[in-house]
Amino acid sequence: MDQTAPLALHHQRARGRAELGLLAAPGSARIAHLYQSSPLRVLFPDADPDEPKQAALVNVAGGLAGGDRLEAALTLGADARFTVTTPAAEKVYRSLGPVTEISSSLVLADRATAEWLPQETILFDGARLARRLEISLAPDAKLLAAEMLVLGRAARSETFTRGMLRDRWCIRRDGRRLWVDALHLDPGAIPHRFTLDGAGALATLVLAMPDAAAHRDLARDLAAGGAGLLAPGLLVARWLGEAGQVRAALAAAIMALRAQALGLPARLPRLWRT
């Protein structure tokens, strides 16, 4: 054996997981199950008095590199009300080859109401991300969910010219598949007029509830026509454009729809505002 041959590098990889189970409590929810492993942590910031209980998913590593994996699972019991957010944008750094994975699952029981409102995920140039969101709803559960991606560090005028993105949503209601949406993006497709047309950011917002159709006109106004009822009880809105404009438009839609559809205050979660 050649003792002078260089040793192969083995980079330390993050494998974080958080599980949160909640049961109904007066006006909100109480914790029935909590599991967390570094670098993913669940914190419970004080919510405004007229808001449901909130959790913040925190990546204490400060960002994600190639080969890192985060998994989050939320289970909401009957009649429970809850909001999940993040304290800041998630950063996905340039990869040396391996894919960064983010997987989330939401399970909502009868008459549960949840908001899934993480702040944006920023893909550094050269990042390789596979992200998946699996949602299972009882027939009369309500969900407002949003995800936003920024392609490159906009504040540094960086664009996403190398790397890969795979993003997948799957929503089931009462065990039956309601909607599946998958995006596989290579940077070369970003300038194409039939894909992102050079947009620096994209966002998706979903309102899933039995009477979602009643809020279609509001969603279309907020998304400049980029919204529609894609299945019974499922309203989807989308935005493409410059990162600051997309975030502002998404924030306005969250505030308006949580007030009109969920009967909550027309404001963002506190962590979005601090």
How confident is the model over 183-227, as pLDDT tens digits? Answer: 988 777 666 655 677 788 999 999 999 999 999 999 999 998 799
Range 267-272 average pLDDT: 91
Among residues 252, 225, 251, the alpha carbon closest in space to that of 237 is found at 225
Helix (H, G, I), strand (E, B) or coil at 36: strand
- pTM listed for this prediction: 0.92
- In sequence order, the β-bridge partners of residue 250 are none
Range 225-234 average pLDDT: 92
> Residue 116's pLDDT is what?
98
> Residue 1's pLDDT is what?
47
Residue 16 has pLDDT above 80, yes or no: yes
Tokens standing for residue 128: 């390789």
What is the distance between the alpha carbons of residues 187 and 185, in angstroms, rounded to a whole number?
6
What is the distance between the alpha carbons of residues 127 and 99, in angstroms, rounded to a whole number?
8
- In sequence order, the β-bridge partners of residue 105 are 73, 134
Highest-scoring range by mean pLDDT, 12-21, 58-67, 193-202, 250-259: 250-259
What is the distance between the alpha carbons of residues 232 and 209, in angstroms, rounded to a whole number?
9
Among residues 200, 135, 132, 195, the alpha carbon closest in space to that of 161 is found at 200
- In sequence order, the β-bridge partners of residue 134 are 105, 170
Distances 68 to 54, 99, 104, 273 between C-alpha atoms, Å: 26, 8, 14, 28
Hey, what long-range contacts does 218-227 have (CB within 8 A, 24 or more apart)?
218/256, 218/257, 218/260, 219/253, 219/257, 222/249, 222/252, 222/253, 222/256, 222/257, 223/249, 223/253
Cβ atoms of residues 261 and 207 within 8 Å:
yes
For the chain, the helix, strand and coil percentages under 3-state DSSP, each to the nearest 5 = 15, 45, 40
Tokens standing for residue 223: 């998304």
> Residue 192's pLDDT is what?
64
